[in-house]
Structure 1
């Protein structure tokens, strides 16, 4: 009960002459009245309340309305409104009680009654408003109903259904009307039938047929067959979907030859068209079919032209795009290739600049090669030995300005000084801008274009040989495509911080490959896992040992082994691997073999996908709580998964023992970086050639195609008695840039400084000869690219003889003359 009600009851009791006990509310009210009657007490109370409020704000027990949430703000304001109205009603009631003119001191109306009247008034207002809205809606719906009713009535009077019309015509018993109706029907049917027969094209026939076949009334009255017979339309016209409208719909030939589909998809899967990805997350799933991604290496337009030039089938560009497998996609920025070919990239940089300057019309390097070569399929033309096209250069437009300055990007090897040791320098590869004239840029571009012809021919030829070898193998042959996958970082399912950020993780070496056999329709994927991180020739043949055991156990008829790999000089393409290839192969019982190399920077293939699949499986096991701390556990856990990949394990001690037994005085094979095929048919003997020969796919391993050269690993060759020149570096190593060497050109020796390297060539700035062991720097720089076999050796810097002339150290010169005599 409120204080106002207590006060009312108290006043009633007083008027009635009673002396009731004071309630707590009445006592509190009298106390407040006495306190407020004294100004000093009132001021003191207000001051205390103000200080208490300030303390509550400072301590955080209370917050100002601006600092509270929106919901709390609404709640407070609602309470303030209620308090305001309550005080207002209380003041009005007090004023009414204090009015001396009232005969009855008891109030005639209570506060609850006042609120009740207001609530009733508000409710009635809302009801009247709702009643008005409902009446308006009812009137609107009634009007709409009458409208539809009137429309139906008009439709009935305007035209009857075909069935009603036919019944009324027969009921009238008018022979004239019936005859005219039948005559009109027959004339109309014959007119449509003749128009359809005389139509010249599919477009006109389709439009005439859709006028009739798209009519739902024929189906409603079940006269479709009658109309079909009368009009002469085929069943396909009635079964074909009838979209809204009469627009012509072009008929598409959905019947595509399965042979064409297979050819196009096989084309997309080729390693020279799309490259395999190795990432564990580089997968794509469609219809619950999960595949490893492959990235296209050119635009779809260029690939379509390439397909048409190689195949006899004529296929449209749209169909060619539609037949692309879903897992072969265009690479994005996040899928950027970090193993790009330096030869391609530098040539593209120069070509883009020349096209931007409108010096050349084409931006496609392969198209320019076709313009300056007689036949891109002939090795003589692509290697620069053809007398007709060897001196041809890139055609230029009228926009060519020889002396105009231009800047272009190039990947280059530069020296970098160390901050802590200024005297110490290292070689780094950077993308940097070069400034030159259009004339010098065009000369450099033509020089690169000539080398690019050889590079392009090697790429295409090696991939062609690879495909032919897979398709034409005999029962006693096998093809092994191998490559190293990036080492797998072993890990625990849960790790402490010291393990995760420290150097406690071990690595597992993965040597992956794919075995192709003519007797099995599906290739066999395999992987050798080892804790050893060695990747030299001795380690490679130890990783291959269990693979050979598997072949001889399950396929004992295999006598010839064909290898395919990329060509890193520290792994596959070097004298140690050639020696083991010509010895270990026969020690294991095989009769012959070939080792083929893809062109440098273009060796991505199926083994890369094998490594990605195994790493993805291992990571999945770790995420499910399996610890993989080392290579042995990795091998054991992968075996438990039942993977289709054949996994083998080689311990580290076995690899170390093989490395210790490896001969150290093996002779170098000439033109190692240039060769792309090695053939062996006898222990210790081999033939090598610049490109692989197709004859090897037909068991003619000793053919004379592409000028093969013999080489023999004999004991006397391993202890050479020739005078020892200065150490021969690996010429493809960027560390040789800036060092001195000797170049053999037309029988003479020329010293020079190495300015750049590639996979098969070295760029040298040479001096000119003026006498016996006398050289000088020419006024115009003589910079050319030379093959590795034209570089004799590395030498110390020549010594000055006069103010202009220099000579090679006399002791080094004597060794050079003796070696070349």
Structure 2
């Protein structure tokens, strides 16, 4: 199945210019369109892509347009470089122009004082582009290698998961927006949002078979930060998991790595004192930036789709966090819904702030490194089996 990249009226004009001796009407031209070619309305947009992958794709596109013989797919390009089919140092020999332009996704300052991601165009000399291209190629090769190592580590951990160990993979979903089947105008402009935090817990039963439990943590607090994460673990996640999976001895946390949510001093403090707080040891692993998609994304999307469908079918009215929590537990699904109120989350944030954990200097990324943890004078010195990528 293919999709046209232009509308039929423009394509008909091009056809008339190229085939002036063929006389057909626009209606006949549309009727003769092959069925396997869909219209432009079926063109999809890709969202939440990896910034490093997209920047490499934009760079390859610009280099190829300038005359270099390179594939447009970043993954194919790296494979050919690793197989010595392409010499990255000789690619720019095909570029003849002295000035070359390329585009990159970057965070730029806007007029309102905020920073936003935009595609920025650069115009540089051929030598400057060659140096930048070599640098990007090396960084992208390391990026793809870390991704492969992480996915392999997760797969190996699932296959060799020790008894009484649990893998907890979690992530914030996009907030659920409360709507009604028949909604008045003023309600449309004052819609309520709900925080959804999907969690998937993997464990092995007595027969050694890998099973899992699916949880959706619901909250009326919209702050996606370390205080929320700590509250979710402290209030309901670990108590509920102990009820579902008895005799837990160690938890392997796997999350994405935004500093506002999981990779920060608050989370480091929690995991460093995990045994004292929850009577169970833990390690925390981070996925490479832009590549943390997994079962939590599907779990969150399924929950929101089912809730929206129930509202449209007039089976329930979801107007706040408690309503979706009650609906979720009453629906016939294997997903377990847990509720954490904003009051408790506010208390947890306050407790974390009172600990006055000071930030360490810039934490560099390391591959496959872990260490014991100790806290001295409110400084986190080392992190307990905390994987940086």
2:107 corresponds to: 413
Partner SS, residue 509 of structure 1: strand
**1:59-78 to 2 correspondences below 5 Å:** none
Q: Is the 8 A contact 1:360 1:395 kept in 2?
A: no
Structure 2 residue 333 is the aligned partner of structure 1 residue 643: yes
Which residue of 572, 576, 600 corresponds with 2:266? 576
Partner SS, residue 411 of structure 1: strand
Partner SS, residue 91 of structure 2: coil
Q: 1:610 to 1:366 in 2, by over 3 A?
A: closer
- Name the Cα RMSD after superposition: 2.7
Partner SS, residue 484 of structure 1: coil
2:17 corresponds to: none
**1:778-797 to 2 correspondences below 5 Å:** none
Q: Per-residue displacement from partner, 1:366-403 (whole Å, max 9, x unpaired)?
A: 4544565699xxxxxxxxxxxxxxxx8533275343x5
Q: Give me the whole-angstrom Cα distance separating, in 1, the residues matched to 2:154 and 2:362.
A: 22
TM-score normalised over the length of structure 2: 0.78
Q: Give me the whole-angstrom Cα distance separating, in 2, the residues matched to 1:367 and 1:394.
A: 17
Which residue of 592, 600, 604 corresponds with 2:293? 604
Structure 2 residue 379 is the aligned partner of structure 1 residue 717: yes
User: How much does 1:362 deviate?
Assistant: 3.9
2:53 corresponds to: 344
User: How much does 1:463 deviate?
Assistant: 0.9
Structure 2 residue 348 is the aligned partner of structure 1 residue 658: yes
User: How much does 1:523 deviate?
Assistant: 1.9
Work out which of the two has the higher radius of gyration on C-alpha atoms and give 1 or 2. 1
Partner SS, residue 89 of structure 2: coil
Which residue of 447, 469, 480 corresponds with 2:157? 469
2:6 corresponds to: none
**1:524-673 to 2 correspondences below 5 Å:** 524-545=213-234, 546-590=236-280, 592-625=281-314, 626-663=316-353, 665-672=356-363
Q: Give me the whole-angstrom Cα distance separating, in 2, the residues matched to 1:710 and 1:559.
A: 17
Structure 2 residue 188 is the aligned partner of structure 1 residue 488: no
User: How much does 1:456 deviate?
Assistant: 1.3
1:498 corresponds to: 186
Which residue of 487, 512, 515 corresponds with 2:201? 515
Whose relative contact order is higher, 1 or 2, with alpha carbons under 8 Å and at least 6 apart? 2
Q: 1:493 to 1:434 in 2, by over 3 A?
A: same
Number of equivalenced pairs: 334
Q: 1:399 to 1:499 in 2, by over 3 A?
A: closer
**1:155-194 to 2 correspondences below 5 Å:** none
Q: Per-residue displacement from partner, 1:267-311 (whole Å, max 9, x unpaired)?
A: xxxxxxxxxxxxxxxxxxxxxxxxxxxxxxxxxxxxxxxxxxxxx
User: How much does 1:589 deviate?
Assistant: 1.5
Which residue of 56, 67, 71 corresponds with 1:358? 67
> Which protein has the bigger helix share?
1
**1:33-432 to 2 correspondences below 5 Å:** 335-370=44-79, 393-396=88-91, 398-401=93-96, 404-417=98-111, 425-432=113-120
In structure 1, runs of 5+ residues without a counterpart are 1-331, 376-391, 419-424, 676-689, 693-705, 719-758, 761-821
Q: Give me the whole-angstrom Cα distance separating, in 1, the residues matched to 2:196 and 2:92.
A: 52
Partner SS, residue 171 of structure 2: strand
Partner SS, residue 637 of structure 1: helix
Q: Give me the whole-angstrom Cα distance separating, in 1, the residues matched to 2:179 and 2:250.
A: 40
Q: Is the 8 A contact 1:537 1:577 kept in 2?
A: yes
Partner SS, residue 498 of structure 1: helix
Q: 1:621 to 1:578 in 2, by over 3 A?
A: same
Q: Give me the whole-angstrom Cα distance separating, in 1, the residues matched to 2:247 and 2:373.
A: 28
